[in-house]
Chains A and B, each alone.
Chain A
Amino acid sequence: MWAFIHKLGSPKWFYGISARLQPWFWVLALVLIAVGTVWGLAFAPADYQQGNSFRIIYVHVPAAFLAQSIFVTMAVAGMIFMVWKIKIADMAAAMMAPLGAAMTFIALFSGAVWGVPTWGTWWMWDARLTSMLILLFLYLGVIALRGAFASRDSASRAASVLAMVGVINIPIIKYSVDWWYTLHQPASFTLTERPAMPTEMWVPLLIMVVGFYCFFIAVTLLRTRSEILRREANKRWVRELAGETS
C-alpha cells in the first residue's frame, strides 16, 4: 500500500502510467460527449413547459457538476501535498484550477443564456447563480494567489491552504446563500427541480456528465504531464527522454 503511494508520487512513474491511461480517457470523453450532444440536442423530446430551450442543461449541468467537483478535488490534492509532500498532487491541483474556473464560467454563462427565454433576463440573483458566482471568485483567488509568489514552493503551499479553507467554506456559503434567497424571493422555477424528468431526457444528460468527467481527467493528465516535464526539466530521465525523441 505505502509502496504504491510512494510510487504514485514519483513524477517519472506517473509520467509513464499517465501516458498509457490518457488515450483511453480522451477516446471515452470524445465518444460520450459526441453521443450525448447528438442525443440531447436532436433526439431527446422537447420540454412541455420550456420547449427546446431546456436543452442547454446538457452543457450547463455537467459544467456545474465539474465546477464543484474540481474545487473539492483541488482541495484534496492540496491536502495530500501538504501532508505527504507529494509533488504530483500539487502539480495536478495547479493544472486543474484554470479548468475549474472555466467550467464555473461555462455554467454561469449557460445559465444566463437559459435565463433569457425562461426568466426574460440575462441575470437573476438566483441562489444557484449567486453561489456559482462566488465559486468563480474562489477559483480566481486561488489562481491569483499561486501566481503572486516568486517561490514555487511557497506558492504551492499557500494555494493548498487557500483551497482547503475554501472547501470548508463552500457548504457554508451555499447554505447561507440558499437561505438568503428564500428570504428575499419566493422560490421561482429552478433549473434542476423539474417534475420527474423522463428517461429519454436524463439518459443523454448522464452520458454528458460522465463524458465531461472523462474530459476533465484527460485534460488534467495532459497538463500535469507537461507540468512534470517543465518542473523536472533538469532531472536525468527527462533529459534522456528529450534526447531520445529529438
Chain B
Amino acid sequence: MQVTERLATEAAMKTMGTEPQGGLGVAFWATLKRDLVLLLRRRSEVMNPLVFFAIVITLFPIGISPDPELLAAIAPGLLWVAALLAALLSLDSLFRADYDDGSLEQLLLTPQPLALLALAKVAVHWLLTGLPLALMAPLLGIMLALPAGSYAVLALSLALGSASLSLIGAIGAALTVGLSRGGVLLSLLVLPLYIPVLIFGAGAVQAAILGDGITAHLAILGALLAVALIFAPWAIAASLRISING
C-alpha cells in the first residue's frame, strides 16, 4: 500500500511539475484523482463516518423514546445534526496524512494556485463523505419514521448542504492541521459556522413534511454554497500556508 501511495503521489507530482504553464486543469484533476485513489484504497476511513452516522441515529430512539410519532417530529433535525457531526468527524484527516508525509508542502510549492488545489481536496472530501451521507440518510429516515414525501428533499438538502460544510470545515482543518491535538479545537472553530447551513437544511426537510415550498430553502442552501465556493478556497490556502510555515 505504501508503494501504491507513493506512486500515486509521484504521478500527481509529475503531472504538476512537468507542465508549469497551462497546467491548471491538469493539476486540479491530478490532485482530485490522487486523493480519490488514496481514499478509495483506505476504505475504512471512508466507511467510518457512515457507521458513525448510523450509530448516532440509533442512539436517539434508545435515549429518547421509540414512539414513532415523537421520532417523526424530531427526525429532520436529528438526521441533519447527526450527518453534520459525521462530516465534522472526518474533517480532521482531510489534510493530516498529507501534512505528515510532506506532500502538503509539495502542494504549496507547485506553480498552480494553492486555493484551486485545496478545492480539489475538498471536492474529494465531499464526494466520499457528504454525498454518501446524503444517500444514506433516507435509509435512516425510515428508521426514524420520517414522514413520506420528504426523503428526496432530505437527500438533496444534505448533498447540497454538506458541500458547504466541507468547504467551511476545511478552513478549520487547515488551521489546525499543524497542531498535534487539533480534533476538539477543530469542532469548536467550525460548529458555530455550520449553523446557517443546519437551519436551512433541516428547514427544507421540515418544509417538505409540512407541504410548504422547498425551493426557497434549497435556493438559500445553494446561495450559501456559492458564497463558500468564492471565499473558502482562499481562506483554506491562507490557513494551509500558516500551518506549514509555523
Contact = CB atoms under 8 A, between A and B. Distances in A.
A177 B189 contact: no
A216 to B, nearest CB: 23
B192 A137 contact: yes
A141 B188 contact: yes
Contact of B199 (A157, A162, A177): A177
Interface in B173-197: 175-176, 178-179, 182, 185, 188-189, 191-193, 195-196
Interface in A160-174: 161-162, 164-166, 168-169, 172-173
Contact of B188 (A137, A153, A164, A179): A137
Nearest to A142: B189
B245 A154 contact: yes
Given A145-B189, A153-B246, A158 B195 contact: no
A145 B175 contact: yes
B237 to A, nearest CB: 10
Contacts of A153: 246
Interface in A50-106: 82
A151 B196 CA distance: 33
Contacts of B179: 148-149
B231 A168 contact: yes
Instruction: Using C-beta atoms within 8 Å of the partner chain, give the interface range for chain A.
Output: 20 to 34
B171 interface: yes
B239 A158 contact: yes
Interface residues of B, number: 27
A240 to B, nearest CB: 32
Contact of A177 (B175, B195, B227): B195
A162 B238 CA distance: 11
Contacts of A177: 195, 199
A93 to B, nearest CB: 15
A138 B192 contact: yes
Interface in B226-245: 227, 231, 235, 238-239, 242-243, 245
Contact of B242 (A134, A138, A157, A166): A157
A154 B243 contact: yes
B203 interface: yes
16 contacts: A82-B238, A134-B195, A137-B192, A138-B193, A141-B188, A141-B189, A141-B192, A148-B176, A154-B178, A157-B238, A158-B239, A158-B242, A158-B246, A161-B171, A165-B235, A180-B199
Interface of A: 82, 134, 137-138, 140-141, 144-145, 148-149, 151, 153-154, 157-158, 161-162, 164-166, 168-169, 172-173, 176-177, 179-180, 183
